[in-house]
Structure 1
Amino acid sequence: MVQSGNGVVNWTTFDQTRALIGNDFTKILGYYRDDAAKCVVAVEQAYKLRDAVSMVRPAHTLKGDSLQFGGEALGKLAEHIEHSARRCVEEHSAPDKLDAEILQLRPLLIETLSHFERALAKTAAVPMIRRPAAAGFGRKAG
């Protein structure tokens, strides 16, 4: 695949990571989805509190994880937020000038995940196998 026209996803990186991870790619991407959402919430909350120190780690994590999966635009935005927060920590100042970036973070995550999910749906030719319901969690033994 080629990089999308709007630059949200680097499909070369996405495909390379997918090939490297192999059969567990969908499961690992699910972990990314959950972790990325937590990072976005943490960055938003820290920004609301004007706490630059608390912004650094989730922004750094979001940057690295996003770039590994090809989430180019999200990774670059998270990197900008991380660097700005680090600068504020060094200067002992509040992160007051990231309003536009913080507002872009959540919608960009949603857009990135949407691109990933569409790509997976296109290649998901594996039929779902129905297994018989077993007694256990949520099931009454018979």
Structure 2
Amino acid sequence: MDETGGDIVDWGHFEKARAELGPGFIRILSYFREDGVKSVAAIEQAMREENTVALVMPAHTIKGEARQFGAEPLAKVAELIESTARLCIETRRFPDELVADVVKMRKLFDQTIALFDQATNPLKSRPGAQGGFGRRANNQNFGRI
């Protein structure tokens, strides 16, 4: 991954979505986080339970939402999981070959969320920011005997 996360997020697409969504952008981005956490967990659970049908909807959800914010690599992994699962439903088999892709999806989702946080949270995006407000007071012993 490069420093800017350009190989994980298309920042031009991300900024276009931010402009189009206006004041609702942060709220909708928070839905992506919430839905994504649930969807990735549901996909992992479906893999553990060998439930092919349960792979389809959460993968479809992540695919669409990731594309909305310019996270194309995440969307492509989700699309692969969704399409493979759909094919396997028709052929009545479990897609064991998706294990590595599910692991990759978790990693990409976590990296994507971290990059989105960095781009939208002023405390995380400022160099040297450690959280909190104002400067740390250096005179804590002032006036003490």
Provide the TM-score with structure 1 as the length reference: 0.80
CA shift digits 1:5-60 (9 cap, x unpaired): 65200111111111111011111111110001100011111111111111001000
Match for residue 29 of structure 1?
Answer: 29
Residue pairs, 1:23-102, within 5 angstroms: 23-102=23-102
Q: Which one has the largest radius of gyration?
A: 2
For 1:72 and 1:117, locate their aligned partners in 2 and report how far apart those are by CA, in whole Å: 17
Q: Letter of the aligned partner of 1:64 in structure 2?
A: G
Q: Letter of the aligned partner of 1:41 in structure 2?
A: A
With 98-107 and 34-43 compared, the bigger mean Cα shift is at 98-107
CA contact (8 A) 1:66 1:72 kept: yes
CA contact (8 A) 1:7 1:72 kept: no
For 1:73 and 1:67, locate their aligned partners in 2 and report how far apart those are by CA, in whole Å: 9
For 1:39 and 1:5, locate their aligned partners in 2 and report how far apart those are by CA, in whole Å: 22
Match for residue 106 of structure 1?
Answer: 106
Q: CA RMSD in A?
A: 1.9
For 2:7 and 2:74, locate their aligned partners in 1 and report how far apart those are by CA, in whole Å: 10
Q: Letter of the aligned partner of 1:11 in structure 2?
A: W
Q: Letter of the aligned partner of 2:82 in structure 1?
A: E
CA shift digits 1:97-121 (9 cap, x unpaired): 1111111121211100111111113
For 2:97 and 2:6, locate their aligned partners in 1 and report how far apart those are by CA, in whole Å: 25
For 1:54 and 1:5, locate their aligned partners in 2 and report how far apart those are by CA, in whole Å: 31
For 1:8 and 1:90, locate their aligned partners in 2 and report how far apart those are by CA, in whole Å: 32
Moved over 6 A (4+): none
CA contact (8 A) 1:51 1:95 kept: no
For 1:6 and 1:68, locate their aligned partners in 2 and report how far apart those are by CA, in whole Å: 16
